[in-house]
Structure 1
Amino acid sequence: MDGLLTPVSSSRVNGTSSEIGLIEQVDVKTNQAKTRLCSQRNSPDSPEDALEILRHEPGYKSLVAVLRGLAREQPDPLAFSIKRPGPLSAQLVQILVSEIVPNYWTLMKEDSHGGKVSGLGLLLACLRNITGINAILVRLRALIQEVKSEEGKAKRPDVSINLSILLDLLCRILDGDVCVSEIWKAATAGLDSQAKLRPLSQEVISIFGSGRIISLVAEAAEFTTSNEIDLVVDHLWPADGLRYAKWLGRNIVAWQLSNPSPEQIKLCSELFAKTLRLGHSDTLIKDVLARLLLTKGVDPQRFGCLLDHLPQMEQRRVIFSVLKILSDEYLNSLGLCESEGSKSLVSAAAGALQSIVGTHEYRRNHLMEWLTGSSGAGLGEGVAIRRAVLAVISQEKDNIVKVVEKSISQFGDQLYIKHSPMLQQEAHAQVLLISAGYLYKKSPIKLTLMSRSGVWLNTISNRLSTAHQRARFLGMVVGEGLSSLVEKGDKRLDFHVDETNSAEGKWYKGLVEVSDQIGSLDLLLKPRQEAPPTNMPTKQKVARRPVVQPPQQGFIIEELSDEEADEDDGLGAYAKPDSDEEDSDDDPTLIRRDKPKAPVYIRDMIRYFRDTDNYDSQKLALTTAPTLIRRKANYGTEVAEHVEELASLLVGLQDKLEIDNFDDLRLQGMIAVVVAQPQKMGHWFSKTFFDGDYSVSQRASVLVVLGLSARELAGFETSDYAAAAAFPSKTLPERVERLFIGSGLSSSQQSSSLKPLPPNALDNMAKSLTSAFLAPIAATAADATTGPDVLKLSTFTSRLEEQQLSPHASNPKVKIKSRAKPRVRAIPNTTAQLISTSFFSPLTARFQAALHSTASRTRGIIFQSYLLSLYLKTLALLLHAAGPSTLALPQMTSELWRLLLSTSIRAHAVGDLTVTQAVLFALLALLDVNEDRMRDICQELGREVVETQEWVAGVFAGTRGGDGDEEDQVKMLAAGVLIRLREGIEKYQLLLVGDLIGF
């Protein structure tokens, strides 16, 4: 047993063993007196004393005294400061976060009226540093892990309260636009060594730029109980990525405006780069651009300095975003830049770009890449932004030469002509014409040599030989425009066609004469923005449906004196008023006389829409919008002036008041907006679907609006609101109308019997069209199995009348169509070109631009299963609404067919029956509209036809069918597409021989 115990150390003491006992008595009174002395001391002599006082549960006055001493600014930079990281400051902060804050938080909030000198203000000053924020985040993570480990068990009630307190504390510490800069300056006071500053800068970037604050606050908010303390959801702004990014952007701007050192500018750039990766980069860049460049009194070079230390890809991303912001905020409203003030605004935008680009060659290269790259030089944007960029590029001759050479080479490439969206080709044509004009002013000989080179001749030849009418038009106007610069007299190129001499053709050819200068930013500058409202909690009222107070029960009996009775006898009685509809209720307490009146002007309706907390205003605006917008569309300029504002209000409107038929009324209002201004709003809604910050349901409503409004414009659908919105001068009196329309409804009856749209109106329309597409195939298959043709004479004659009708008419009873006679439209479609240019082309072009976008959020939205299927169905409905007589049908067919065969679409169709069904429906619509063009399709899209047949055959073989309605629908659609394709291939197989070789 002796070997089991080994002595570690030995010590010798003086005195005998009898003098020193085994148990020593401690004077408890002495220790208690010492602790009481520490807790009652007004001001600690040193940080160690402060730590000792905090450890022994001080009183509130002693705590405030300790906090006042710790928060005091030290004139000596080498003296101790709790705001600088260190071992002693870490212990003090840990005690404050884990012990003091949970116990004294309520008292401190009650004593917060003193501002910075109050207990709460002193506590925030002590914790507003790197160590304090880290301690709070660590404590939050520990409490979250504790809550997660206790799932299914009885939870401690104090955990939720502590989480709420820490969240409240963190929000108060981070509040303000100078928080980050103050934390950095306090942490680095007295430090001048780069070896010491670099770890601190990395720590600041890790805290604020890594997203740790967002994730922890959002996760902790799930476990808090808001009613236990005065904490509302609006208080937890760090959990919202958008608000956090804006807050960080304001801090970066404030830091940049405070004349920072080069090291601080570099830290701001690194923090800005990390913030861009948190999401909401466009909003962040827009906010920083507005405050750091487009504000009066701010040095325009500040924004360029912020970009100096960013990586090249981040600078490219910021510059492209700035171009989009300038276009959306200032230049898109200029249209074709034909107004007198447009040139000065373009020059101001060019000045803003010049201040950003400066003398950096790589930033100019980014601008040249934007002009000639696959992004399309601002796809869907106006020409003004391209003019502004070219004004900057044209400052150097070599750069403008590169733009012209690359534009000519790209513009004449056969694959580019065949596969690029038409909006992209139009933008590149504008770039080519404007840049050629600049080059001619700088070096006429260089442009003359380019126009006589083989590359230019091949460009014109390839453009003229294409089957797409719009592509040929662009080639002709570009050819005539450049020829007008380098050739004189009869040598100028002139195709002698009406298209090039139209207003649009003359505008394109006039772009060679554009010359913009770099101007002042005064037209873009805004007044200096004040500090935004604090992020501290504000109680927000939740709008509810107005509740009518019930009548009070019982009677009130009052005894009158004789004198009062005698005075009443001398009063004369008033006449009985006429009946009022609002007074029809028996109970007078239920009558409301403050109801708003129906709006008569568009601006009044907009005011009602903005009053989101008023139930009556919202309902009245929604019910009035469809008829009022249609009624005012062609009378005056009210709708044209407010159409974009109306559309943005309707798209973003939310049903917070639980209004009946809210979705239908909102959809009908948006359809009325598109029908009133189709050329403008078709582009606007297409852009909103891809670029707007909306939910999935709101984006889906945009697609539904585009599809339904296009069909109404084409004459396929007639809205009941159109008849209800007709002016009385355009309609017959009700009694006369009944004589001419026997069983029909009069205008007043139609307005009172409007039927809402079904929730799946677009899907129902797709199903009805599918039945119409497949009916002739089913009829042919039935005839082939019923016996010899001699026995089918009666069947043929009974269907003879039905075969004369066109399947493009809006009659859903059409089942069979004639293949012997040419198809005749029952309703003349005069808006086919409008549907092509304003609805179909913007949707397809922006989708292809989104495919090449680096933003994962954009790709995640457009490839959401429901949205993707609805998008493909919308394109198919637009093509069907345009009809077979559309001049742009070849271009629309090729764009949609190649889109359906793209790798991204077919990859998402694998295993997803919803997307597969939408692709097959779009293919069936393509084949139906192009039934009379099957020869041209086999000649122009031979490879696509064969590839489609193989893919659809694989879908047909891989779908079992019979297990559900969706699988049966996919199987039936695949069979219909295969039959149509094989009919065309068998008939025109000789045309496909060349394309089949090597396939």
Structure 2
Amino acid sequence: MATAKPVTNGLDQVRDIIQRLQAPITDLPTLLALLCAPLAALGLLPPRFRDHNQNPLPDGAFKLGRHISSIQEAILLKIVPTWEQELRENDVLLLADQYFCPDSFWCATDEAGDIALLAYSTLLSTPLTVYSLRLLSRLTREYPIDRLFQAVFARKGSKSALSPHEYQKRSIQWEDCVQNIVSVPAKVANAALANKIAIPELLEHGAYFNNLCIRYEQLICSLSTAPLNSDIVSSVAYLLGKLVNVGVFPPTRPTSRSQPSFFLSTLSSIRGNLRALNGAQYASLWHEILDQLPSISTTQSILTSLFSSLSIGFDSDPGVGPNARVKAEASLLLDVVGHLGEARGELWDSITSITLSRGWTEWHARILVCWVAGAQSDNVDDATIGAWLSTVVDVWSSPDHIKYSLLSQHQYLTSLLLFTISYLPPSSPHLSSIGLSPTFISGVGTYISHNDQGVRLCGMLAAEVVAHRTGRELAFGDWDGDSPGKAWARNLRQKLQFRDIDALLDEDDVDIDVPTPAEQAQVQVTEGHPTQKPTIVLATESGYDSDDSLVGYQSEASSRSASPTPSELAEIEKEPTLNVGVKKVARPVYLAQLGELLRSQAGTQGKDDPHHADKIEMALNCAEELIRRKRNYGIELEENAVNLVYALVTLQDNYDLDNFESKRQAALNALVSCCPRKAAPCIIEQFFVNQYSISQRYVMLNAIAIGARELASLPMPPSASSIPADRPSFPSKLLPAHLHTKYLAAGDTNQIQQITDNLSRVAIDKTKSDDGDKVPGIARERRLRINQSSKITAVEPLKKNNQFPWQNAPPVKNTTFTEVAAEYFIIPFLNRFWVFIRDEQTREERTAHLSGRARYHGAGTGLILNPIVLSHFLSTMTVLVHAAQNAPEWLAIIAPEALEFALTVGTRPISLPDDDDEHSTVTGQSPEESARNKEASVLSASLELALIVLDGAKEVDDGRSLGLEHTALLMGTGEWAGTLFARLESGRKAEGGGGVQDIKLRRAAAGVLLKVDEITSKWRRSMIDSANI
């Protein structure tokens, strides 16, 4: 019992390592220590990581088959999504790769082979990522199928033969391995399409299976050097059958690189191995594998692909006389498939079915007959030739064949029949029986009576040749001329005088190069685009050259040393001896760590922290990437989204960091698009807090708008994350309100303004004739209903628990904007705005009797009701409403609420004018009149919002909901736009207008008038009837 205690402790230590790998890890040294211990126990730890093995495992504690899959799962699902960037930067990602694809130093060990076998199962049973595809690509290159076969059946530790029980166990392991291997391209393609990631070149369908075919042929070559039992051959044949099922044995020659072909990839290697010293053993193994195939259809697929590959590289006209290339290909068939003279019934049935039911070429006919004859001139198999001739005559004389086959099929079978007859001597009994056969005689009569002259010539030629070979006289004559089929008949009659089996072989005939589609494409590219260009030599004539008068002079040497180059400065900065005590800020791998870096300014050290600027810079550099990477990774993003919003919104550029604004904006955009249910309400709430500057409010509005368009899969602005950072966030706090627009940089609003301008232009350009593509009334009624939960909840049947927990989880569904538009974006924004404006107007009323600075002004500098911020708020609402057009709440809630909001902001006073306002002072207007005189930017933004709402209502249900259910609102909008348009036409100017702003205002007002007129003209009669009721 004392000896078992260390093992128990060791098992507990292994379980503790696995549990800690599945839980969050605080720092990189801890992670390295956890990863090193199991590898050291297996003897696969690279030497440079031995210092990190602080807690080695006892001998025998770590069981590879029992524990390695759990660690692989933890690495793929927990470690890599969080620590990949950190591991890559510190050049220690190899340690994680070692658990899937041990490097070449340990490739030959049994442990490395077992890890590779289990790696395929783990990688293919978990969601595939970029990291997983990289590992699969390495496994394909470093652990091919022949190495995996060795890992299953040929372990170094076992010298004795496998017992039946052990072979059965390993056979099951091999079948699982084959199943994983052949499923890689399909699963990779599905994952790449779903996740929009690139497929590595080695994992593309054609390249992967071509490489697999090459390695399979090398496996056969390596196994042929030693005697094998039938069980091992059966396992090798199992893989060949799987390759047939996935389509690597095409019936015709592939025409593109994406179509794999076994023989196109391996035929040249097969020829070379057949000529090697152990060529006989190699050919014998091929015979055994073909005999072990599970079905005749599998054998037929392989032989069909082999025959179609034989025709590659030949000329269109074989020529007259014995052809050594035909004999070489027949010898190849003899070596790979075997001799048909033996009692191989299934093989005979497969060959006859393939060769007699398809239209091959004359080359195939000559190769096939030479192969059937034995491919040896001194040993022609007359018995097999006779049996083959009888089979061919039966098909050739068939009435159905004569009546329905094409001319090419007739010529092929006639060639096959006559080439077979040419191999028989005139005294052969098989030839005599054919001449007197009723089947053949009736077939000739059917041919001669055929309507097609080419088909008649086939029967006439066969009858003449058979009669001549059997010593009889028969001559139909009329073989001269250019009529269809006569040239073919004359050419074939000449070729029948020679036998290809009598040709002499040399090396040139045996080495038949078969170019692959990729090689052919490369040749075409090389021929079309020469790689070398002619050298251009510029020679000047002897004589005067203006450069001859330029004479250099020597300057005095400077006592100053040369200034260091930027690369030298970077090296000096990285010098460890000069940075003693300087602590490098670690890259955050969890969102909680990111939040700590962003909130470090509010810590105990605050701005006195010497590393505060480095922390903020590191956080901004990796904020967007980390947030997007955690999108579908558990609930970590939901737990930290609110804290990150607070940290990013309140962040100040106190250190003049590079691209501060663009990086913060990109991080907030990512938060809204990746976690809309948490980030959007938080940003909306913070927007109405009075502590933020205009620049910070712009960032919040941009994040809401751009995040919404990303959720709705709408085109993003090209400058979504490129806000200029080399300008002050606000020009001055002392400028009067009407000068802020002049001096405030337009970079913050360009993104949203460009989107709203495009939306308005598209809406205005639509004509009244666009009435054919509208949503029908049934769809409108469905949109008006807000989905309610069913009163009866269906109970799903219990499913069988899978091996891995993530397989039981439902697939992750990304949130769309239509699901969250009303509940988390538009309605909360509008409700908080109404509450905010109520509070602001109440504060203004309380101080209305005061004067000067004692009087509160809700639209003062930097506040939300300021025209600058309010117009941008309206533009943001326009973007949100347009993106939510397909939401189920659009007609009933979003459209009327947004239209009422636009009408209210455009017509009602938002805030009392400031006493210091120059316009009101000069014109002498009352506060109420001045408040009603809106800024041009606010008016145009309100009209654009109304325009988008009306255009959406016209698109969804032809404006029926607004026209019949919100008639007063629709008519009020039209009256407002008409009055404003009439004033502009009469020459009156809006405050803050002029130039482009006037054009936008006129265009928006005209667009609203047009849309209201379209809707009212469509539903005017119903609107009148409903008003009377």
Q: TM-score w.r.t. structure 1 length? A: 0.40
TM-score, normalized by length of structure 2?
0.39
Q: Which has the higher contact order (CA 8 A, sep 6+)?
A: 1
